[in-house]
Amino acid sequence: MNELASLYFDNAATTSIDERVLEEMLPFLKHNFGNPSSVHSHGRDARAALEKARKKISGLLNVSPGEIIFTSGGTEADNMAICGAIATYNIKHIITSPIEHHAVLHVAEQLAKKQNLKLSLLECDNQGRLNMEQLAMLLENEPNSLVSLMHGNNEIGNLNDIKKIAALCEQHSSYFHSDTVQTMGHYPIDLKTLPIHSLSGSAHKFHGPKGVGFIYINKNKKIDPFIFGGGQERSFRGGTENVAGIIALAKALELAYENQTAHAEEILGIKTYFKNQIIKAIPEVTFNGLSGNLDESLYTVLNVSFPPSESNEGMLLFHLDLNGISVSGGSACSSGAQLGSHVLNALGTNPQRENVRFSFSRFNTKAEVDRVVKTLADLYLP
């Protein structure tokens, strides 16, 4: 193993927890440990802290506190939105895309199969741009559909115009859910001006802890519960709340919003520098999806396609790991799969090329980028 300090460029998979978030969280693990459903003082203290966190999050997103429901993370929130909307509004048609996160794609496929629902996957071009004309046509032909399309793609960084999608859904009386896991905290989201019915967020994507997230459910488009239990979370989601995690989630989102513009400029600077340096070092590289387009993609994601190489074929991630560099070949949730990235497969990427997702945070530096680029150049240009 390389003796140099390890480098982390897989922030789309998870981010490190901010020290200020950890400090806010620790008292609720050590001392303020009451169950928020208990009526004694320990429980009341926990309930007060939990509701304060809910109010903080709702204020940042410009909604009422009752529209924020805490979950175990983005996957549960996506499942809750899709299953709940279909059950509540007797929806028979699901519209999504072949490049969605599996937390959306797999639940849509399962529901279509088990409940005999119609499932439509939007066409996308070789850069991952979705066919908005097709969406409009599908909605016109079948109103009262469910549309689930993500805000920012976790693998190729493409940003969808969710305001345009929301307007189309509103025009055709259809339910719109968006997985905003990759954009929450990184981009301003004002739900007073966005006619969306539900969206999902997860703390560990913006320097909070794993295992806690939330779903926004518009008060005028409530859905049936997904997890039944003791009536927690206004009976939308049974189960004792993860109070420490929720406190940390609220703090992490608060910090993200406080410094959003500065963080975006800083991280975009790192991504831009990485892109320019890797092109200089290995001119044959290309970029998957719109990740190389600095205006149309997440400033946190750059998906790089490397030229074929006998020495690196199927081994590039391994070689980088040996050099203390953590990156991803796609979604970490699918890292054990043998079929490769479903997103890159949908784009028709060249199977002979090595594809690596580099994803950035405010804790990355240009010096780290230089080391990664040099390592890659040594691997490709011995």
Q: Hey, is 194 helix, strand or coil?
A: coil
Is 124 among the residues known to form the active site? no
Distance spanning both ends of the chain, measured CA to CA: 20
Query: For the CA atoms of 354, 360, 364, 366, what is the dihedral angle to 10 degrees?
Result: 60
Q: Are residues 90 and 135 in the same domain?
A: yes
Total domains in the chain come to: 2
Question: Given this model, what pLDDT does residue 1 score?
Answer: 43
Q: Are strands 301-306 and 286-287 parallel, antiparallel or unpaired?
A: antiparallel
Residue ending a domain, choose from 258, 281, 296: 258
- CB-CB neighbours of 65 under 10 Å: 15
Question: Could you give the CA distance from residue 154 to residue 323 in angstroms, rounded to a whole number?
Answer: 24
What phi, psi does 360 have (nearest 5°)? -115, 155
Across the range 155-161, mean pLDDT stands at: 98
Residue with more model confidence, 250 or 337: 250
Residues in the chain: 382
Q: Are residues 345 and 208 in the same domain?
A: no
Q: Are residues 46 and 169 in the same domain?
A: yes
Select from 234, 243, 238 the least CA-distant residue to 47. Answer: 243
Question: Given this model, what pLDDT does residue 2 score?
Answer: 44
pTM: 0.94
Residue 68 lies in a domain: yes
**CATH (domain of 119):** 3.40.640.10
Q: Are residues 289 and 205 in the same domain?
A: no
Q: Are residues 247 and 270 in the same domain?
A: no
The residue assigned the tokens 């193993």 is 1
Domain limits for position 44: 19-258
127, with CB counted inside 10 A (0-12, 13-18, 19+), is middle
Q: Give 86-99 pLDDT, tens digit per residue.
A: 999 999 999 999 99
Amino acid occupying residue 160: N
What secondary structure letter does DSSP report for 158? B
Query: Looking at 112-116, 165-169, 216-220, 377-381, which range is the least confident one?
Result: 377-381
Question: Given this model, what pLDDT does residue 329 score?
Answer: 87
Q: Which residues pair with 213 in a beta bridge?
A: 71, 202
- CB-CB neighbours of 327 under 10 Å: 19
Question: Given this model, what pLDDT does residue 308 score?
Answer: 87
Question: Could you give the CA distance from residue 85 to residue 172 in angstroms, rounded to a whole number?
Answer: 16
Which residues, 6+ apart, have CB-to-CB distance to 88 below 8 Å? 222, 223, 224
- How large a percentage of the chain has pLDDT more than 90? 91
Question: Given this model, what pLDDT does residue 382 score?
Answer: 59
Residue 1 lies in a domain: no
Q: Give 315-365 pLDDT, tens digit per residue.
A: 899 999 999 999 998 545 555 545 689 999 999 998 889 999 999 999 999
